[in-house]
Structure 1
Amino acid sequence: MKNLKIMNPAAGAIVMALGIFLYAAIEAFPFLDQGLGKILTILLALIGIVIYTSLTRQFLHKDFLVPFLNNPVNSFVMGAWIAGVSVLCNVIIKYFPGMTAFIQGVAIVNTCCWVFFLGFCVYNFKQLLKWPTSYSIHGVILLSTVATQSLIIVWVEILPFLSKDTLVVPVMYLGLIFYLCGIFLIGTRYGKEKQWTLIEDWTNTNCIIHGALSITGLAIVSSQLMSSLVVMIFWMIVFTLLVIVEIVEITRAVKRISEYGWRRGIFTYHISQWSRNFTFGMFYAFTMTMHENSYYMSSLYDFHDTFLTLWAWIVLLALLGEIGLWLKSNWQWMKGKKESTA
């Protein structure tokens, strides 16, 4: 591993966060969508190539692979790799529909990777359910749901010839089963563990508690599998969870600022922060797709119209803020590296 440059396994979340913005929220900003959409998609594809090439190289190295797979919590981060590819496929098709045949091939390969990931999900859930208090479980395990439901969206949009009854529906419910298992484990961790604090032990990835349901909602709406009433109720559940989780996040941020100050408390870059950008963008995508489909028109229609206008700015500003933290972190890293070699 000495000559292997290690990339954080969670780097797939960067592709997820940037991709979901280009997939949905960017449409609220025509000057970005129409003027820069294709350019930003090409940049995202290049970022994806760099990230996935590095991840593949180190994944095939046993010194990285063995300890990574032996960690029943962190190995769920592979779900971000699959979801990132899925989102990237959808974005490329959106801006470059002529590449459908190629992207279909990528989607099939990604599906094969998901089957491999599926085996680890089942095994790791068995391990965690057997000893739920032996590990520091957090929202990363819900990437099992995110990865699974991301495939549904790809299949519906890019591989429409796949059967809904024999493939799409069973896989969607499998994603929901993963979610229930994950929520049970997260609840057990925080409910039974006495020595934990909001500042140190509540992780950024816990925002996937609502993000995993948002992508499930998008999968449901995209495949039109449930009635408008059921989808409306589902949306309200996701919205309620988003409010609850983000109130916890705000409380945590206030406590961290009080304890560590502004810079160290909330303005220090960590790769797990991209998960929040993804969940914000995914809730926008779920709401937008539901709002634009006349089948799902409901008493919430006017509320959604106003909400989408406001939420689009939150998604954009949060994404710009995260990019700023990343640039600042890398600038400091490059500056320190330059000084150390001087």
Structure 2
Amino acid sequence: MMLEQSKKIINPAAGAIVMALGIFLFGALRVFSDHGEIFAFVYLIISLLIFTMLIRQSFQKDFWRLFLRNPVNSFVFGSWIAGLSVLCQVLIEYFPSLRNFVLVGTIGATILWIFFLIICVHNFKQLWQRPNFHATHGVVLLSTVATQAIVILWAGVLPVLPGFLALGTLILGIFFYLNGLALIVIRYKRGKWSLDEDWANTNCIIHGALSITGLAIVSVNMFSATFVLGYWLMVVLVMVMIETVELWRGFVRVKKRGWIQGVFTYHISQWSRNFTFGMFYAFTMVMLDIPKYTTSFIEVQKVVLISWAWVVMFALIIEIALWGRASFTRSERLDMHPES
């Protein structure tokens, strides 16, 4: 999907930037700094600027018609909801006095999510009608990410909501995940495809959506420690599988295009990887923070948590550097194609 460049203010996928920066502040930052309030304030300003531009653009003529015309890329709207939800979580953690502001944000995110549900149902219907026609990729799993982000937000801001509502919404997110994953598998099972050209950056959401579902599971606090540990191990396994593909893809791209064009060229879809890395850290962190989920595996998880914080930090530094270079050289691509 491509909007007319003359009308473009900001890429509709910019919500992923808010998601990625926010989940780092929510989780891994605590390993590196005791002054998170400063970073959180800067993050608030950046987030408000991004959302202001997104809202302004949404009022442009034909924006929604052009945006929703593509049944795959229109799932990007889920990044707006997840980004707003993560922003609210960060504000709760660092600025508890802004609880009324967060409450307004929570209501706003919930209203957007209800609208997004209509988009999801419509889009999944279109994709299942012609599953081999569309180049489905990981962006469809933002249906799960947005839904579980709402569950987590409700648990933190509106704990008075009935438990069955949170549980039902969590299950809905899992349903979206199974649909999205099935469509992705169908896409890659058909004919020939190239790891270099056809494997999308957003496919890392295959494990990122599992991580945020795990965070939602521990947030609602309705499951046993054995179940949660088993789920965590499954997420680790899937993450290793997907990131192994990513590493092989990087090797292929470097061999074919060189380091700069192969892996060090900026594209906005790359922020999804930062989000998925940060979300796995957040899932593990919150799991270990809740005594109920303490198991004999805790020492291994602590080592994983400390090590993974550096992975999240390193990946974020690289992405910010790539974004800075692209902004300076005005080389950022303005289309919604998933490849970097």
TM-score in same-fold range (> 0.5): yes
CA distance in 1, matches of 2:213, 2:107: 20
Q: Are 1:142 and 2:133 an aligned pair?
A: no
Give the alignment partner of residue 255 of structure 1, picking from 249, 252, 256.
Answer: 252
- Per the alignment, residue 302 of structure 2 pairs with 305
- Per the alignment, residue 185 of structure 2 pairs with 187
Q: Are 1:8 and 2:6 an aligned pair?
A: no
Shift of 1:62: 3.0
Secondary structure of the equivalent of 1:62?
coil
CA distance in 2, matches of 1:42, 1:174: 33
Q: Are 1:28 and 2:31 an aligned pair?
A: yes
Q: Are 1:18 and 2:15 an aligned pair?
A: no
One-letter code aligned to 2:181: I
Q: Deviations over 1:101-156 (max 9, x none)?
A: 12111101110010001001001001101110110100000000000000111101
Q: Are 1:77 and 2:76 an aligned pair?
A: yes
CA distance in 1, matches of 2:12, 2:170: 25
CA distance in 1, matches of 2:321, 2:132: 37
Secondary structure of the equivalent of 1:257?
helix
Shift of 1:79: 0.4
- Per the alignment, residue 172 of structure 1 pairs with 170
Aligned positions of 1:147-158 closer than 5 A: 147-158=146-157
Q: Deviations over 1:321-340 (max 9, x none)?
A: 10000001111129xxxxxx
CA distance in 1, matches of 2:119, 2:7: 25
CA distance in 2, matches of 1:67, 1:12: 18
- Per the alignment, residue 66 of structure 1 pairs with 65
Q: Deviations over 1:255-307 (max 9, x none)?
A: 00000000000000010000000000000000111112111111211110111
Q: Are 1:199 and 2:192 an aligned pair?
A: no
Q: Retained in 1: the 8 A contact 2:167–2:220?
A: no
Once structures 1 and 2 are overlaid, which stretch shifts more, 299-308 or 172-181? 299-308
Q: Are 1:241 and 2:238 an aligned pair?
A: yes
Between the aligned residues of both structures, percent identity stands at 51
Shift of 1:73: 0.3
Shift of 1:60: 2.0
Q: Retained in 1: the 8 A contact 2:217–2:223?
A: yes
- Per the alignment, residue 336 of structure 2 pairs with none
Once structures 1 and 2 are overlaid, which stretch shifts more, 60-69 or 197-206? 60-69
Q: Are 1:292 and 2:289 an aligned pair?
A: yes
Q: Retained in 2: the 8 A contact 1:20–1:282?
A: yes
- Per the alignment, residue 133 of structure 1 pairs with 132
Shift of 1:3: 6.7
CA distance in 2, matches of 1:186, 1:5: 29
- Per the alignment, residue 337 of structure 1 pairs with none
Once structures 1 and 2 are overlaid, which stretch shifts more, 138-147 or 226-235? 226-235
Give the alignment partner of residue 223 of structure 1, picking from 220, 225, 228.
Answer: 220
Q: Are 1:268 and 2:265 an aligned pair?
A: yes
Give the alignment partner of residue 319 of structure 2, picking from 311, 319, 322.
Answer: 322
Unaligned runs of 5+ in 1: 335-342
Q: Retained in 2: the 8 A contact 1:83–1:146?
A: yes
Q: Retained in 2: the 8 A contact 1:58–1:65?
A: no
Secondary structure of the equivalent of 2:330?
helix
CA distance in 1, matches of 2:41, 2:196: 38
Q: Are 1:209 and 2:206 an aligned pair?
A: yes
- Per the alignment, residue 337 of structure 2 pairs with none
CA distance in 1, matches of 2:134, 2:296: 44
CA distance in 2, matches of 1:3, 1:46: 26
Shift of 1:72: 0.3
Q: Retained in 2: the 8 A contact 1:274–1:322?
A: yes
CA distance in 2, matches of 1:228, 1:198: 38
The alignment yields a C-alpha RMSD, in angstroms, of 1.2
- Per the alignment, residue 87 of structure 1 pairs with 86
Q: Retained in 1: the 8 A contact 2:144–2:174?
A: yes
Q: TM-score, normalised by structure 1?
A: 0.94
Q: Retained in 2: the 8 A contact 1:208–1:275?
A: yes
Q: Retained in 2: the 8 A contact 1:267–1:325?
A: yes
Q: Retained in 2: the 8 A contact 1:156–1:223?
A: yes
> How many residues in Structure 1 have an aligned counterpart in Structure 2?
328
- Per the alignment, residue 102 of structure 1 pairs with 101
Shift of 1:6: 2.4
Unaligned runs of 5+ in 2: 332-340
- Per the alignment, residue 283 of structure 1 pairs with 280
- Per the alignment, residue 54 of structure 1 pairs with 53
One-letter code aligned to 1:171: T
